[in-house]
Structures are given as C-alpha cells and as structure tokens.
A and B are shown apart, each in its own frame.
Chain A
Amino acid sequence: MEKNPLLSVRNLRTYFYTEDGVVKAVDGVDFDVYEGETLGIVGESGSGKSVTSLAILRLLDPKGKIEEGSEIIFNGKNLLTLTEDEMRRIRGNDIAMIFQEPMVALNPVFTIGDQIMEAILLHQDVDKKKAREMAIDMLRKVGIPEPEKRIDEYPHELSGGMRQRAMIAMALSCRPKLLIADEPTTALDVTIQAQILELMKELQREYGMAIILITHDVGVIAENADRVVVMYGGKVMETSDVRTTFKTPKHPYTWGLLNSIPRLDIEQERLYSIPGMVPDPLHFPVGCRFSNRCEFGEEKCSVEMPPLVEVESAHMVRCFFYHKVEQAQKLSKAGEGA
C-alpha cells in the first residue's frame, strides 16, 4: 500500500457544454491505480465512468472540457499539462485503451495487421518487416489461431471474440504500463466473455501492467478486480478492495445494486429495487446525487453533499448514514441464515 501510485486522479471534473446546459458528467473524482493491479470502476449509464477513462487520455470530444484544478498524474507527470505532442507519445505507448464494441472500434477499411502495425511503428523504432513479425507474435499471444493468415484479414471477417482479441493485441503491442478497458466484454457472449477476461488476467501477469476495468457488471468486477470504485452521478460513492465492498457495502447505492441483481450464488425470494430513475446528468439532485432514490436518506442529504470519508482502513464512502446500511446488511445476512 505504501507504493507510489502509477496513476493518480485528483479532483477530476469534466463538463460538457451543450445547448441545453452544462452537463457535469464527472464532478470531482479521485482515485489511484497502483502498478500491476486491476482497479474496477463500476457504474450505470450516466455515472461518468467512461468519460473518466476518456479524460485520462484526453480523448473527449470537443464539447467536453476538463476543468481547471483537475489533475491526472501518471508516473509523476500531470497529463493535463502536457502538450498535444507529448500526450500523443503516451497514448498507445504508456497508456493503452480497449473499447466496448470492437466492431466499431476497429477501422473497417484497414486489416487488423495494418492497425496493430501502426501502433508499433508509431512508438517503436522498428522497420515494417519487424513490425509485422511483432504483430503476428501479438496475435498469437492473444490466442488468435493462424496469426500469419489472420493478420491480413479485415475486422468484419473475424468473430466478435476474435475482434476483441485483436483489439487487445493492438493495445498491448507496445507493452503499456496501464491498460484502460472500457466495458471490454459487454458486447460478447458469456462464454466468450470468460475467455477474454481470462486472457486479460494472463497477459497482466506476464506484462505486469495495471488495468482499469470499467463495467456495469458487478459480477465481472468481483471476479476480476483487486479494488473497486463505485461511481454514481459523476461522483465516487464508495471505494475499497473488492472483498470489503462486496461483503460489507456501506453506501446505500452499492448495497441496493448488489441486492437488486439476480444471482447464481444465493437463493433470492424477491429482488430489492432501487426506486426511481437513473438521474439525468443535466438535472442532478441537490445535495447527495443519490438522495432522491435513497431509502436511508434524511433531510440533510437533499441539502448537502456528503464528503468521501475513510470509514475503515482504505474503505472510503460518500454517505452521512452509512451505519444504517451496515445494519440493513446485517439484517439481510441474518435472514439468509435462517
């Protein structure tokens, strides 16, 4: 724990200036990623998890601005102060990214070989022939059969799982220190998802890279992340190591989420439902962003934004009444035992 973080995000605020008003998609987010670990960011649509990942690489579309005072420290450098050229040298080289839908994330008019080689040629001092060899090696490494043949195929000629493997090969071709995976398996079938997640674990062990795994699927986080950040309404609601969060969630949102999904591991009489709707980022409630859907909240919650406090060692929660959740959790555990 005393290690220096590889990436530190501090007070990240990312606003989108639209015709209808300012969308505060990410509003003061802090977290660290340490070398070699997997940090899971979990959240629903509009939670700001994908915007956070794009902000780290400064890939937001022109309407989105990273506000003053935000810091993204990678390897001791604040990425937000780099020039565009310096940033370009980091993208794909030190920090790589894979996306949700490999069908649309790969360029349809270039072969996968072209696209992997492009990354290699951009960041490494090798000639085309060598780059091609390296690309074939990468494809073999990610488990694509007959890589010598597949390298000249176009994305549409591969299956969904193979495409995501090619995407991973492209992202890892320069051995990045950090891989950002934005919903990498959401578009895939479960049996393929298991393959891809297993592959990512293997490659992480081999390369020693850190991974930020972004997903809405708490199951994927539970099985693949070391630590977890729960986001809601552009804010971090809870963060700790995976075991703690899943065993003793302390934020009402995390608690509600875990109780509202059908699960294979336990028998459920009736699912819990978080009331209300996923908030519209244009009109977040005043005070705690979750206050209008929270069953534990009191008046204070709809007035004041609770701070993110460390309630146990390395377990941070943004809630005034987290002890109420503790009680509810105990009750439900007791009920399960009976």
Chain B
Amino acid sequence: MTNSKVVNQNNTQEGKDRKVLLRVDNLVKYFPIKAGVFKRTVAWVKAVDAVSFDVYEGETVGLVGESGCGKTTVGMTLLRLYEPTSGRIIVNGEDTTHYFLSARRAKNYVRDTYVKRFQKSDFKPQDDLDKKYYDIFKNSGENGLLEHMVGDLEKKRLQFRRNIQIVFQDPYSSLDPRMRVKNILAEGPLAHKIIKKPQSIETVGKALEEVGIHSGHMYRFPHEFSGGQRQRVGIARALLMNPKLIIADEAVAALDVSIRSQVINLMMDLQKEHNLTYLFISHDLSLIKYISSRVVVMYLGKLVETAPKEELFEAPLHPYTKSLMSAIPVPNPEFKKQRIILQGDVPSPVNPPSGCPFHPRCPVAQPICSKEVPELKEVKSDHTVACHFPGSL
C-alpha cells in the first residue's frame, strides 16, 4: 500500500505530527450500464478507478480535473451518497467503508477485509490501521473486532455525517425551495439532537451572521436570496454540524465573478476559525492554486498527479497537468506562457483507452504508453505521478 509509506515519510520529514483526517485507499466506483431484453449489465462506467490520496487535518486539498474525470463521483462516494464499488475510506483512523451497509453486509466486509487476513499465520500489519485492528483481534477475537467495527452502526453513521459535510455547486438547487432558511439550517442539528427546537433560532441566527447574512433573514425562502447569499447559506448548513472535513464540490463555479472571491475568502476565514479541513473539488486550476495546500489531479477516473501546491505549479510532471495549466486563460496580456493545445476530446469512461488513459491526447506519448498502465510513483518527496515519462513535456 503506497499510501502508508507517504504518510510515514511526512511525519518524519516535516518533524511534526500531521494527522491524517481522511485516507482514500484504492477507491473504485463503477456505474453499471444496463441494456438488452432483461436489462442486464453489459458494461461499466469506470467513473473512479483506484484513486488513493490522504487529507491531513487543517489543510485544503484541491481535487482538479475536467468534466467526466470522476472528481464529483469521488466526493459523492466519500460522503456515501454513492456506495463505493471497492476500496476503503478511512476517517480519523477508523475504517468507515462499511458504515452505510446493512449490518449483515457490514460484517461480511469486516471479515473479508480484515479477519481473513489476520487469521493467516504469516500475517504482518502493513500500516497503523492494520496494527490497531490486529491488536483488537488478538485481544478479543473476531467477535471483538466485529463489535468494534460494526457495533452501534447507527451511532457511527450519525458521527460520520457530523464529521464530513458538503457544499454543493448549484446554489439554486441545493436549498429546498419550499423551506424557510431557518428550517433548512436547523434540519441537520435537530436530526442529530445537537440542539433542541427552542434553541434553533439562536443557533441558526449565529450561523447566519457568521457567514455574513443578517440573522433577521432566517425566515426568508431561498429564492429571496442572490446566488452568493445562497451559497453562504449552504456553507452555514454544513458548518452547523461542526464538521471536521468539508467537501466543496465546485462551490463557487456557478457564481458571478465578482461574488466568487467573497465566498472564497469567507471559506478561508472559516477554515482558520474552526480548524476545518477542505477537500476542494474544482475544474479551475487558478482557484485550486489560490486555495489549496496540496493538489490532486484526476483524468478519466484515474489519479494522474499529486503534489504540494508550490511544487505542482512550479514543476508539473505529468503532461496532462502541464497542458491543463497552459490552457487556463490568464488575465494578463503580457504574460507569456507555453501553449500546449491538446488534440481531441476526453474519451468515454465506458471504454477508456488501453494503457495510460491520457496517451491518445498526450504530446509526448511513446509506444509503451498505449500498452502499460503507468503506476503511481513517488518521484520526489510527497510528489507522486502516474506517467511513464514524467517531466518529459
């Protein structure tokens, strides 16, 4: 497992204990395509294909890619609005992959993923999580581990929902048009019994003021607000759950240019105040450069490059990352940049190209690229790339 290596290095190299808040391990999400007389599955849309990355506490990770690269699916799957096809989602040092399965399937998951491995005589823990679960397994056996991981599933689900929240792209469809803002905002905290009904006015008022909306507007309906204000309401809704991680899926893409920076600045201020962690999903590389500390680049369901922001923007190694950067229009007529115009369209994720998914459009592709899938390698410290010839463009 490549990821554990990355984590350990980080801890030692930077000399401080950066805690991994979210670890995405080999996440796969396929959607079936059904056809034929009996609607059988004939093919799969490989929306997310073996994606792994870590998100440390307090940082902002930018997940960037073009439409159809699977970045939104990653967000939805992390939130378990979609169930992952395979892979693990580890939050705060606990495997949460099975949280939203039925109790029976959750147990099967734990048995298949851990117990069967632990029972082998030559088993050695590969990472911290293995070690933790193996200790429990040794001390209290299979039932003990099951109790630890599957016991009280309902409570675990609620805890999970509180830990991870989402801010959506579309400020128009992300708020229920028939509900007053007060009820929209109070819904989550009431469902989790964080607050009681009489308190809701006070809590909601505070949250609104915090995102820069007059608390007296809590009785309004969403359509009485502008796009920017609605997005603020969306942020307040997430904030009210006291989450550790907020997934922002194109959170400012639909806003007018002059409103975007208001919302971006607000989100950065809130991050400091609440010690939030962000996973910022966007197609806009300039925005990602501004807001994030580390960047994950996706193409056609696969992760192609991940690196700290400065590193990535100074020396991108994957030809795709580099072309993407060159394609972003810069509002400075005097700024000279290398122009790389990619040929053709993004292929369909139903029939991804063989080998490296980027090879049909890659300006520096070699014969091997169409045959072998490049592995994700750590080329420099904390800078991984999936390319046979990194840095050749």
Q: What residues of chain A have their CB less than 8 Å away from a CB belonging to chain B?
A: 44-45, 159-162, 189-195, 197-198, 216-224, 242-243, 246-247, 253, 256-258, 260-266, 268, 270-275, 277-278, 293
**Contact of A271 with B264 at beta-carbon distance under 8 Å, contacts A191-B342, A262-B291, A277-B226 already known:** yes
Asked if B332 is at the interface (CB within 8 A of a chain A CB), the reply is: yes
**Are the CB atoms of A222 and B345 closer together than 8 Å?**
no
Q: How far is the CB of A217 from chain B (nearest CB, A)?
A: 6
**Are the CB atoms of A242 and B333 closer together than 8 Å?**
yes
A-B contact pairs, 18 of them (CB 8 A): A44-B257, A190-B324, A191-B342, A195-B343, A216-B257, A222-B330, A223-B329, A247-B334, A257-B257, A260-B257, A261-B257, A263-B290, A264-B325, A264-B330, A265-B335, A270-B268, A274-B258, A277-B259
B290-307 toward A: CB 8 Å interface, digit per residue (1/0)? 110000000000000000
CA distance A128 to B298 in the complex (A): 46
**Contact of A189 with B67 at beta-carbon distance under 8 Å, contacts A257-B257, A273-B262, A274-B261 already known:** yes
B325 nearest in chain A by CB position:
A264
A195 nearest in chain B by CB position:
B341
**Could you tell me the dominant secondary structure of chain A's interface residues?**
helix
B262 neighbours in A (Cβ, 8 Å): 273-275
**Contact of A223 with B265 at beta-carbon distance under 8 Å, contacts A44-B256, A162-B345, A189-B283 already known:** no
In order of increasing CB-CB distance, the 5 nearest A-B pairs are: A219-B329, A262-B290, A260-B261, A194-B327, A189-B66
- Chain B residues numbered 247-285 whose CB sits less than 8 Å from any CB in chain A: 256-262, 264-265, 268, 283-285
Asked if B111 is at the interface (CB within 8 A of a chain A CB), the reply is: no
**Contact of A191 with B260 at beta-carbon distance under 8 Å, contacts A159-B345, A222-B332 already known:** no
A162 neighbours in B (Cβ, 8 Å): 345
**Contact of A223 with B333 at beta-carbon distance under 8 Å, contacts A45-B256, A278-B256 already known:** yes
CA distance A273 to B287 in the complex (A): 14
**Are the CB atoms of B257 and A192 closer together than 8 Å?**
no
CA distance A192 to B345 in the complex (A): 7
A271 neighbours in B (Cβ, 8 Å): 261, 264-265, 290
B284 neighbours in A (Cβ, 8 Å): 262
**Are the CB atoms of A265 and B283 closer together than 8 Å?**
no
A268 neighbours in B (Cβ, 8 Å): 290
Given contacts A197-B329, A242-B333, A261-B260, 9 further A-B contacts (CB under 8 A): A189-B67, A194-B341, A257-B257, A262-B290, A263-B286, A263-B331, A263-B332, A264-B289, A278-B256
**Are the CB atoms of B327 and A193 closer together than 8 Å?**
yes
B335 neighbours in A (Cβ, 8 Å): 265
Asked if B368 is at the interface (CB within 8 A of a chain A CB), the reply is: no
CA distance A58 to B291 in the complex (A): 43
Q: How far is the CB of A86 from chain B (nearest CB, A)?
A: 38
Asked if B328 is at the interface (CB within 8 A of a chain A CB), the reply is: yes
**Are the CB atoms of B330 and A223 closer together than 8 Å?**
yes
Asked if B346 is at the interface (CB within 8 A of a chain A CB), the reply is: yes
Q: How far is the CB of B135 from chain A (nearest CB, A)?
A: 46
Asked if B228 is at the interface (CB within 8 A of a chain A CB), the reply is: yes
CA distance A247 to B332 in the complex (A): 7
**Are the CB atoms of B259 and A278 closer together than 8 Å?**
yes
A224 nearest in chain B by CB position:
B329
**Contact of A262 with B287 at beta-carbon distance under 8 Å, contacts A242-B333, A274-B258 already known:** yes
CA distance A193 to B256 in the complex (A): 19
**Are the CB atoms of A257 and B66 closer together than 8 Å?**
no
**Are the CB atoms of B283 and A190 closer together than 8 Å?**
yes
From B268, B333, B346, name the one whose CB has the most chain A CB atoms within 10 angstroms.
Answer: B333
**Are the CB atoms of A246 and B257 closer together than 8 Å?**
no
Residue A194 contacts which of B261, B283, B342 (CB distance < 8 angstroms)?
Answer: B342
Q: How far is the CB of B261 from chain A (nearest CB, A)?
A: 4
A160 neighbours in B (Cβ, 8 Å): 345
Q: How far is the CB of A221 from chain B (nearest CB, A)?
A: 7
CA distance A242 to B329 in the complex (A): 14
**Are the CB atoms of A198 and B341 closer together than 8 Å?**
yes
Asked if B10 is at the interface (CB within 8 A of a chain A CB), the reply is: no
Asked if B242 is at the interface (CB within 8 A of a chain A CB), the reply is: no
Q: How far is the CB of A171 from chain B (nearest CB, A)?
A: 21
Q: How far is the CB of A273 from chain B (nearest CB, A)?
A: 5
Asked if B92 is at the interface (CB within 8 A of a chain A CB), the reply is: no
B324 neighbours in A (Cβ, 8 Å): 190-191
B226 neighbours in A (Cβ, 8 Å): 277-278
CA distance A258 to B329 in the complex (A): 13
**Are the CB atoms of A44 and B258 closer together than 8 Å?**
yes
**Are the CB atoms of B345 and A260 closer together than 8 Å?**
no
Q: How far is the CB of B47 from chain A (nearest CB, A)?
A: 16
B261 neighbours in A (Cβ, 8 Å): 260-262, 271-274
CA distance A86 to B290 in the complex (A): 51
**Are the CB atoms of B66 and A190 closer together than 8 Å?**
yes
